[in-house]
Chain A
Amino acid sequence: MNDVLLEVHDLVKWFPIKRGVFGRVQGHVKAVDGVSFSLRQGETLGLVGESGSGKTTIGRLVLKLIPHTRGRIVFEGVDITSMNYSQFRPMKKDMQIIFQDPYSSLNPRMTVGEIIAEPLLVHTNMTQKEREKRVYELLEKVTLRPEHARRYPHEFSGGQRQRIGIARALALNPKFIVADEPISALDVSIQAQITNLLIDLQRDMNISFLFIAHDLSVVKHMADSVLVLYLGKPMEYGKNEDVFVHPRHPYTQALLSAVPVPDPDYKRERIILQGEIPSPIDPPKGCVFHTRCPYATDKCKTEIPQLREVATGHFVACHYA
């Protein structure tokens, strides 16, 4: 068994909503509301949920890119939540991010070589020669060619740009990478290539991924454990098999039944959720999912279900799970 690399306890992030000239706080977007999970070395945790469920916010909180409201983030046994910038800085090189949009996340005025070398310049004392060598190594790792180092991002296709972004994230040999929808913007055949690449890299370098996606098929393929979010709250959390084979939460079940399966003869019970996702500014009372839940009772409208362990390592936030 691998060691736990990252632990998150009861993480909360409220974004204040400001109005008017003097920015009076009028309320809060409860973007992340009481999320806990742990991630082992070399494993992948999949974060799934519909838009606005707080996936990206969790990714940014864990990297300390935005301040949190409450909760604890422990990386390699060290509580990083209370650290200030200079204390946290040396740890940053172990924690990297890959973005969804390979088009906007690369500086168009830098060559690919410069882009990949940038973290080396900031975090190491490597000489120019050493950096160059490292850039070539990294390009090879993501199956690009050395001569690509001299070109600019716009000369590359979407898939190639995503490889460049991955190479940059790998530059400092990180232990942990947040991959925020790394394949959503790519073509189907390219998605498969990048998925394979990420899996290979994980195996070779023992990297842990926080893998954010709204495509459940991809998460099922990639993630050792899965956290299902709805309006910033955890609905279900467990190992891949727990969530995908024995889902206990009605929301997880509905999500799974909504995924289109590329087989015309695949038969299953379809649960079509009614209504829309409520606003996270004013989430429903009680269980946040009750407004769309096909099984909701009066209890669900008033009582907030706690995340309970229904089987070893399998947690569900539902009164009736």
Chain B
Amino acid sequence: MEKDNILEIKNLHVTFYTEDGIVRALQGVEYEVKHNETLGVVGESGCGKSVTSLTIMRLLPKPQAKVEEGQILFRDKETGQEINLLELPEEKMRHVRGNRISMIFQEPMTALNPVYTVGDQIMEAILIHNPETTRQEARKKAIEMLKLVGIPAAEKRVDDYPHQMSGGMRQRVMIAMALSTNPDILIADEPTTALDVTIQAQILDLINRLQEQLGMSIILITHNLGVVAQNADRIAVMYLGRIVEYAPVREIFHDPKHPYTQGLLQSVPRLDRGGLKEPLPGISGNLPSPYNPPPGCKFHPRCPYVMDRCREEEPSAVEISPGHTVRCWLHVKGEKSNE
């Protein structure tokens, strides 16, 4: 494990065995998260963004999901030790979950338990990981956290039930809860997708501010390219269970190498450029079914540069410049001539 990494995912394979068939949800996913950096994970629905984060948390639905292969290495900040989360006994894992690695979800409307006050739910997280804390202290900490995430009149709102708050407020509560244990990593799975743009801006601003203030690494999962462009240091682009491109944020946006990344960027109309009713080049075709993925490179049926080889053989990830990897035959040396 490199020393400025806090998390390294290596060759992760996860499969779902369902009544409708087998879904190879993750096939060799690899990424790393550096100290105090934000990793953005983008991709369209079903590409495996959430499954990856649930695997890190070891919260995959049992018994359908199975981790077939791979490692998730995590560096414990206190001891400096490297641990493979996938091999950690459940008891120890519970100490990581919600404590060293916290998670927030897309739906702030449903992610909080409706029958307990928000204070209770934040205190619960504090108490479970700090057994020596008293309820009074936990309550004080909960109020402090609510203030930190910008909830006005926190002393009063701490006794509110979730239904008494708006969507934006609830997402703030989720953040307060996730950060109340001072985690090393915050996994934010589509934290603003269900929110209005002005509230989205507030929440992203808040997360960035707290990252500076508290120091933590963030895995920011989203399908919104704009959100990662302005909030992530490094981007992983996923397609059908694979990371097809992985690079620092500027390279992804200014010099994308994978045809999928290029297509994705050309799919979104932009506020800063582009004419009225100009056709968007985008990507043709539909997302393939995860039950019945195409052979070879998973993107080849939609790829404008498809070659014979793409239909038969899946490319592996190649590092084309330091910290920039691509899974595409176009970028495997000796293949350029076919272009």
Contacts and interface: CB of A to CB of B under 8 A. Distances in A.
Given A263-B229, A276-B168, A192 B268 contact: yes
Which of B199, B227, B266 has the most A CB atoms < 10 Å from its CB? B199
B286 A157 contact: yes
B256 to A, nearest CB: 11
B159 interface: no
Interface stretch (B94-102, B277-285, B320-328): B277-285
A21 to B, nearest CB: 23
B229 A264 contact: yes
B269 A188 contact: no
B196 A50 contact: yes
A218 B276 CA distance: 10
B213 to A, nearest CB: 17
A254 B44 CA distance: 28
Given A188-B44, A261-B230, A254 B267 contact: no
Contact of A261 (B44, B223, B226, B284): B226
Contacts of A192: 266-268, 280-283
By secondary structure, the A interface counts as helix
A264 B286 CA distance: 28
A254 B274 contact: no
Given A220-B271, A224-B276, A214 B282 contact: no
A95 B277 CA distance: 22
A77 interface: no
A265 B250 contact: yes
A273 B276 contact: no
Closest 10 CB pairs of A and B: A260-B226, A192-B282, A221-B269, A192-B267, A258-B201, A50-B196, A262-B225, A187-B44, A189-B283, A192-B280
A171 to B, nearest CB: 23
Interface in B219-248: 223-227, 229-230
A272 B53 CA distance: 29
A260 B227 contact: yes
A133 B183 CA distance: 62
Contacts of B230: 260-261, 264, 266
A36 interface: no
Interface of A: 50-51, 157, 159-160, 187-193, 195-196, 199, 202-203, 214, 216-218, 220-224, 240, 244, 254-266, 270, 272-274, 276-277, 292
Contacts of B115: none
B253 A263 contact: yes
Given A50-B198, A273-B198, A193 B284 contact: yes
A243 to B, nearest CB: 12
Contacts of A50: 196-199
Contacts of B287: 157, 187, 189-190
A192 B249 CA distance: 23
B70 interface: no
B272 interface: yes
A262 B45 CA distance: 19
Interface of B: 44-45, 166, 168-169, 196-202, 204-205, 223-227, 229-230, 249-250, 253-254, 263-272, 274, 276-284, 286-287, 302
Contact of A217 (B227, B253, B271): B271
Contacts of B168: 276
Contact of B199 (A187, A244, A262, A276): A276
A187 B226 contact: no
A257 B249 CA distance: 21
Given A188-B44, A199-B277, A262 B282 contact: no
A220 B272 CA distance: 10
Contacts of A272: 198, 201-202, 205
Nearest to A258: B201
Contacts of B268: 188, 191-192, 217, 262
Nearest to B267: A192
Nearest to A220: B271
A37 B302 CA distance: 41
Given A196-B280, A265-B250, A272-B201, A259 B44 contact: no
A262 B270 contact: yes
A160 B289 CA distance: 14
A255 B198 contact: yes
